[in-house]
Structure 1
Amino acid sequence: MISLVASLTATSSSYLKLPLCTLAEKAATSLLCHIVNGTLIIHTPGHTYTFGEKEEKDHLWPHHRHESPDPSGPVARLTVRNSNFWLRLCAMGDLGFSEAYMYGEIDCEDLVKVFLVFLANRAQLSAIDNSLFTRLVGNLPELGLTARILNTVTNARKNISAHYDISNAMFMGFLSKDMTYSCAIFPELDADLRDSLPSSVESSPTDGQTPSSTGASTPATLAESDHGDMFKEFSLNVLGLFSHHGNVQHPRDPDTHDPLEAAQFRKLRHIIRKADIRPSHRVLEIGSGWGSMSLLITSTIPGTTVDTLTLSTQQAELVRSRAAAAGLSDRIRVHLMDYRNMPQEWEGAFDRLVSVEMIEAVGKEYMETYWSKIDWALNKETGVGVVQGITIPEASQSTVHAFLFPGGFLPTLTFLVDTLTRGSQGKLVVDSVSNIGPHYSRTLREWRRRFEARFEDVIIPALKAEYPGVMGADDASAREEIEVFKRKWIYYYCYCEVGFTTRRLGDHIITFSREGNIEYGCQVYE
């Protein structure tokens, strides 16, 4: 179906495409008439459709309705630039909508409001995916698609690279200086929406700065600075970390002018406390990110070592350089390795396991394998692990994962706990579960603001340097590729923000240990 739509939208012939687009427009607008919550206004070259208003201002408005529309809901406006939009929408539902947005076939004043209207009318609009038009087109085979996205060991690295091996410099454009690419924990969920708060966009890495070796704001000359300047000595009670372990070294305080950086540190410390990582512990990290977790562990807890796994070459290189700059190369070992290929000598070798938002890339078919390998690697008597992962109420393939995370799978919390039990054969015992998903809405807004503000001066140069053959040329084709890339990421930010705001997406932190592990105690933290 996807290949068919691509062929139809790419062809210049009007003999087939134009009649199909006209038919698709009629089919879609007839279904959109069922909107009763909020308002959706669609501008086309020939019509302005208004769906959801109380007054019947459009000829498409049904004369008989069992429900009254809610005029107090969100008002979203959408402009159709290319009639291909209707064909994509009818043929592929929300996936088609995302493609149309990426390719500039539609524009939105506020994409978040469009999603809010769609979600508020979820039951009414579900017919789009079950319409006769969709079923007829959908019966065409998609040979090879499932095999391509299945997260086998062979495909896993390709699937991870599709998202993370874009460019370290590109991610520096929208992440905070600690380079943590996961949900933060803020003191207030929506404080950023108040006009009185200063913008934190300027706090992203700029010229003359590199990501901090310890996860804090650090100048580019860090690698040449004296080791004693990298860290400050604090008593444990000052930062409130590991109060039962005695004095340790602490990295620089996060940039207090950047609420995102402070919130990321708050989340990292929360996971470290939940895992109860102690001096001299050996820690396994599945999913390195850009090293913020491993750097914080080793720079704050004496004698700890971290073996961190990643499938991203870009991430591995940056983590190694940050560890070297911090003088921690002997304690942070970076492995370009699939978790299923851990060496035999690692069996039972780790005191603690941390894995932050990597589980989404595991794939449904391999979830039990994931937990079985964690069970295999952890100390058989006193091992403790903390896994943070994005969840959904009902397991389904999402639009965002189809584009940005090939092979990805968003599980339900029940599925995670069930596969943990089966994969470990009951040898891993869940200790606590919490959901920080609502904090992701603000995290995504912070990323989107930085991404849009720094796209021209930071992200485009990074993309051109990384992919000169595709985006490096100074012509219309290269600019079109760049614009599609930009729209894909904006769609991702907005789509996920609404999902977390409305609790259709969650972000659960699961802590687990061994039966009989009395050393762990009860790690309850605010």
Structure 2
Amino acid sequence: MAIHSPTLVSRLFTPGACHGWLWAQFVQYGIALYVMSALRDGIVRGQLIIEDSHGKHSFGSNEPGVKHPLVLMSVSSDSLWARVFLSHDMGLSEAYLNGEFDVSSLKGLFDLWLENRQTLQGLITVFSSFVAFASGLAITILGRQSLSMAVQNVVEAYDTSNELFKCFLSKEMMYSCALWDDAEHGVRGDLTVGSAPDDLHNAQMRKIKHILKKARIAPGHRLLEIGTGWGAMAIEAARQGCTVDTVTLSTQQKLLAEERAAAAGLSDRVRVHLLDYRQLPPSFKGAFDSFVSCEMVEATGLRDHPTYFKVIDWALKPHRSVAVISATTQPEFRYSNFQPDDFGRHYHWANTFLPNATYFPVTAQQAVKGRLVLHSVEDHGPHYPRTLREWARRFEQNFTGDVVAKLIEEQPQLADPHSLEAFRRKWRYMFAYAEAGYARAYSSLNCWTFARPDVKTGAIQSVLKGHTGTVWSIVFSPDSHRIVTGSNDGTSRVWDAESGNTLAILSEHRGPVWCVGFSPDGKRALVASSDATIKIYDSFECTEILSLQGHDSIANTVSYSPDGSHIASGLKDRSVQIWNASIGECLADLAGHTDNVTSVLFSPDGNNVVSSCRGMLSIWNLGTLLESDHRLV
């Protein structure tokens, strides 16, 4: 079962319940009149025109020159009035799902309510207040997510059908807020200019890359993600050289995420785990450089937030690690720990709790006592309305034919036309409901970055012990997690920068190692020795990949080009050589120095090489020197 059950109040409106003559009279002459009176007193900005079986009713007015919502509502069942009377906004949503009214614009209806929410308090009855209080109390008291409850909530929210989500998500399948920029004409570009087919995908990829940049990932890093979705974040992180462990409770998400990772050729870098974040294997302890979670933490529930942060702290490495978390939030003016049931919480994301911008930093400090400190908070809320509009358009365009047939195949209860229509209207309602909330800052979306605190005491962090001779050269890997050294003892070593432990000893040299280096992506280590060899190693496996052949002299210095495609070496015989870094072919042998070449370096754009010897500095143009040497200085 992957369809949400109706509320208890909604069950009063099932066929055969409270539908006698007396009930009908009570609704028509009591409840309906009460609700209309509250609307008449409460709508002071904008206009609502309702047409039902008893005629046309107008509430509020539109002043000339003032832009306020004008909404036309057609009511087909008096049950609408009873639903609103008994359960307020939840009742309104259930009336729409059951086809009891239609409206000229759902977004306009929500705008009208938000414009007048302070003056529409008359719609809140004693009974609807009791229902809201009881639901909030139940959520608060029972709000600890048991393992079985967490699985049930995920099944209802995400295991409906992968084809359903494909029909409105863009091709990367990211089900969270995109980040819009000038390339898509901004957050209102779809309204002012229109949408191009790839706008949503491009904005989602921008968001993914932004989150990964905030997480400070680098090639060779390990990334933990809680909340896989359909693998978009994990796949992009793997493309950037990370190994990703991503956690989900959705069997359908796991299946599709693994298929998509395999199609991208990244199965060896993306591991999808079907388990709860509270059940991570012991091997995950202190194993990860970065952590990300996009719009998942809302589902953990209020009482489990300390556990959530303790798990993050447990899984991250003790130094130089980062966590990035995004979540829908409530603004400070309406935030409360006591959050009753509502449409979104009941019909889309069960048992969710919405924090505010300051709640998570406080909770993190209480849970992990300074081991994760707040680095930054961003507000992505203004980007959500357009994201929701794009999803809504795609849903209306694609929720037909094969998508519906597949949905009914997986959820047979939707073969009933009324149930299928209620399902369709549920999604329409959600897109408009959420868009209005974000557009008017009734809801927002925050992105928090937490990092391990930097300890700047000036003390020695670790001493690297192992070499038996002078160390001539040392270099950090681009991700700062490893160090390579070259020594007079004829070895080069790979070290763990955090612990100072030796990871590997490269001892294939027959003389002192003068110079070492890393490729820009950190995957290769470069070692030059006095035995006239230059070797390239896999920096993770510490196995030899290439040995540069074609020189008889000792290499004093070596350097990678910024894109990793070329290597420059400076030799004792006063020459500079340029190599193809992939195949080890010598592309150019440059003469002209008057003494040992002591240093070579590529320019940041990779177009030039600078080399030096005693009393002389030369700059070589890489674009021409492969045909003939071209010294500029």
**Is TM-score (shorter-chain normalized) higher than 0.5?**
yes
Alignment of 1:90-239 (within 5 A): 90-129=85-124, 131-132=125-126, 134=128, 151-187=145-181, 188-194=186-192, 196-198=193-195, 200=197
- The whole-number CA distance in structure 2 between the counterparts of 1:141 and 1:341 is 29
- Percent identity between matched residues is 38
The 1:167/1:141 distance shift into structure 2, 3 A limit, reads closer
Once the two structures are TM-superposed, the CA of residue 143 in structure 1 deviates from its matched residue by 11
Question: Conserved in 2, the CA contact under 8 Å of 1:389 and 1:508?
Answer: yes
Q: Which has the higher helix share?
A: 1
**Quick check: 1:288–1:316 contact (8 Å CA) kept in 2?**
yes
| Whole-angstrom distance in 1 between the partners of 2:212 and 2:132 | 47
Instruction: Give the equivalent residue in structure 2 for 1:26.
Output: 33
Maintained 8 Å contact 1:39/1:76:
yes
Quote the residue 1:7 is aligned against.
Answer: 12
Q: Deviations over 1:202-230 (max 9, x none)?
A: xxxxxxxxxxxxxxxxxxxxxxxxxxxxx
Normalized against structure 2, the TM-score is what? 0.66
Using the TM superposition, name which of 267-276 and 3-12 deviates more: 3-12
- One-letter amino acid matched to 2:76: R
Q: 2:423 is matched with which residue? A: 485
Question: Structure 1: how far apart are the matches of 2:230 and 2:180?
Answer: 21
CA contact (8 A) 2:139 2:351 kept: no
Q: 1:16 to 1:162 in 2, by over 3 A?
A: farther
Q: Give the deviation of 1:365 after TM superposition.
A: 1.3
Conserved 8 A contact 2:357-2:377? no
Match of 1:229 in 2: none
Moved segments of 4+, more than 6 Å = 136-149, 517-521
Structure 1 letter corresponding to 2:79: N
Q: Is the 8 A contact 1:310 1:338 kept in 2?
A: yes
Judge conservation of contact 2:388–2:431 (CA < 8 Å) in 1: yes
Matches within 5 A, 1:249-288: 258-288=198-228
SS of equivalent to 2:320: coil
Other-structure match for 2:629: none
Deviation at 1:140, TM superposition (A): 8.7
SS state at 1:406 partner:
coil
CA contact (8 A) 1:160 1:312 kept: yes
Amino acid at match of 2:202: A
What residue in structure 2 maps to residue 40 of structure 1?
A: 48
How far apart are residue 76 of structure 1 and its match? 1.0
Q: Residue by residue, what CA displacement relative to the aligned partner does 1:386-412 show, whole Å, maximum 9, x if unpaired?
A: 111111121434421111111111111
1:120/1:514 CA distance change after superposition, 3 Å: same
Larger Rg: 2
SS of 1:418's equivalent in the other structure is helix
CA distance in 2, matches of 1:481, 1:36: 36
Q: 1:51 aligns with which of 54, 59, 72?
A: 59
Letter in 2 for 1:197: G
SS at match of 1:73: coil
Of the three residues 235, 252, 267, the one matched with 1:295 is 235
The whole-number CA distance in structure 1 between the counterparts of 2:330 and 2:189 is: 25
What CA distance in whole angstroms lies between the structure 2 residues aligned with 1:447 and 1:414? 29
User: Residues of 2 paired with 1:175 and 1:139: CA distance?
Assistant: 35
Whether the 8 Å CA contact 2:46–2:62 is kept in 1: the answer is no
Residue identity opposite 2:61 in structure 1: E
The answer to whether 1:80 aligns with 2:75 is yes
Q: Where does residue 362 of structure 2 map in the other structure?
A: 418
In the alignment, structure 2 segments of 5+ residues that lack a partner are 1-5, 457-477, 481-633
- Mapped partners of 1:136, 1:507: distance in 2: 29
Match of 1:336 among 256, 266, 274: 274
If asked which structure has higher relative contact order (CA below 8 Å, sep 6+), I would say 1
Aligned to 1:406: 350
User: Which one of the candidate residues 368, 372, 375 is aligned to 1:428?
Assistant: 372
The answer on whether the counterparts of 2:219 and 2:240 sit within 8 Å (CA) in structure 1 is: no
Give the RMSD, CA atoms, in angstroms.
Answer: 2.5
1:96 partner amino acid: G
Task: Give SS of 1:330's match.
Answer: coil
Q: C-alpha displacement at 1:520, in angstroms?
A: 9.7
Higher strand share goes to which structure? 2
